[in-house]
Amino acid sequence: MVEIHGDVTPGFGAVADAFAENFARHGEVGAGVAIYLDGHPVVELWGGSDAVRARPFTEDSLVVVQSATKGATATCLALLVQRGLLDPDAPVAAYWPEFGQAGKQDIPVRWVLGHLAGLPDVDPSAGLRGLATMTGPALVDALAGAEPWWVPGTAWAYHATTFGTLAGELVRRVTGTSIGQFLATEIAAPLGLDFWIGLPERHHHRVAPAGPPAGAGGPDLAAVEPGTVRHRIAQAALASFAAFHAATDPADPRAWRAYLAAEIPAAGGVTNARSLARMYAATVSEVDGVRLLTDATVDRARAPQTDGVANVGLFGAQFRYGWGFQLPSPTMPGLTARSFGHPGAGGHLGFADPQHRVGFGYVCTSPRWPGADSDPRWLNLLAALRAALA
């Protein structure tokens, strides 16, 4: 039996039971879960080991949370909107003039945040390799010069990597700092978070390697109709998957260190369950005197951008998006219909719920979530949390 560590406030014991059950019934290897209510921690648990069972998963362990990073990136953008530094209805080119090429001059910021910009990937013909497919000036320049893959605003598809690059460049143009620096100074430092986009080398030893996410081989090209946007996305995704695996192989220490240090605002964030929960808690309540977003900003950030718009991507229509935050849907339910956050490939999850003033964080080392339907581990934890809040 796996030994579970941490603290649980009376009344939330069912969450601890569900967390333990995930190890017994759902193939959990190493994980952490944290929940804040009204700005205070009520659950913080961890247990198990890293993916190869070489080291215990501890209170100090960190995990690359893949696309759960997008929630932090979206929070950075929402904070800039709240401060009056970024207008979601203004053209991206107003902040980033080079972006206004190739028919993109009228794309508003909110279409970038809602995955409607028509730039779901960079065509393999751009010649990017390795980390350059995920971050860096060459990727920024490639996106600035790219033609949209469809008429922007008329359809949407998940911008798996390019969401972060586009959002990160907006942060840089508006603030003069990188998104990793902005997260560190404006969100992580005030809240005391262990959350980085671009992990300092002194923390590399804390990272618990995870197994490759389920479905990590990429899409099945034969199952996608040729000549469609979806087929083009699948082709580009195969190249992206190959580059990702080459750059993130823990067996190649040099590549692994470079990956951890790189600022990849779509999928390279490094954190733990406590920091995910604490960040999201501060979007809907005050945490030790810090409130990141006002109720009005949260309502704006939660406004659906993809409802009623055709999906031309690989994941189908089960996802819904606001300003970069994923919204609840029948196959991806939140705590309530008002929840907002983002999952990450393999099973990581962070979200806030304004109705209950909850911040939630879950990280793991054992991939069970392929990116289609809900992870059974989430459903188990959320059912227990709903019961505790009833």
45 bridge partner residues? 6, 33
Q: Which pLDDT belongs to residue 61? A: 98
Q: Which of 67, 240, 285, 366 is catalytic?
A: 67
**How many structural domains are present in the chain?**
1
Query: Regarding beta strands 310-311 and 320-321, do their DSSP bridges make them parallel or antiparallel, or are they unpaired?
Result: unpaired
Q: How many CB atoms lie within 10 A of CB 280?
A: 31
Give the CATH number of the domain where residue 99 resides: 3.40.710.10
CA–CA separation, 1 and 69 (whole Å): 31
361: number of CA atoms within 13 Å, CB side? 33
Q: Which pLDDT belongs to residue 268? A: 96
Q: Which pLDDT belongs to residue 168? A: 98
The helix/strand count (H/E) of the chain reads as: 12, 12
Amino acid residing at 102: A
Dmax over CA atoms of the chain, in Å, equals 58
On whether the CB atoms of residues 356 and 281 are closer than 8 A, the answer is: no
Q: Which pLDDT belongs to residue 222? A: 66
Provide the domain limits for residue 113: 4-212+219-389
**pTM here?**
0.96
Q: Which pLDDT belongs to residue 213? A: 59
Profile the chain (390 residues) by mean pLDDT over runs of 10 residues: 95 98 95 99 97 90 96 99 99 99 98 98 84 92 97 96 98 99 99 99 94 64 83 85 77 90 97 99 99 99 96 80 95 93 94 99 86 84 98
- Residue 176, judged by CB atoms within 10 A of its CB (0-12, 13-18, 19+), counts as exposed
Return the structure tokens found at 313: 């991507």
DSSP string, 224-259: S-TTSHHHHHHHHHHHHHHHHHHHS-TTSHHHHHHH
Query: Catalytic annotation on 67?
Result: yes
Q: Which pLDDT belongs to residue 369? A: 65
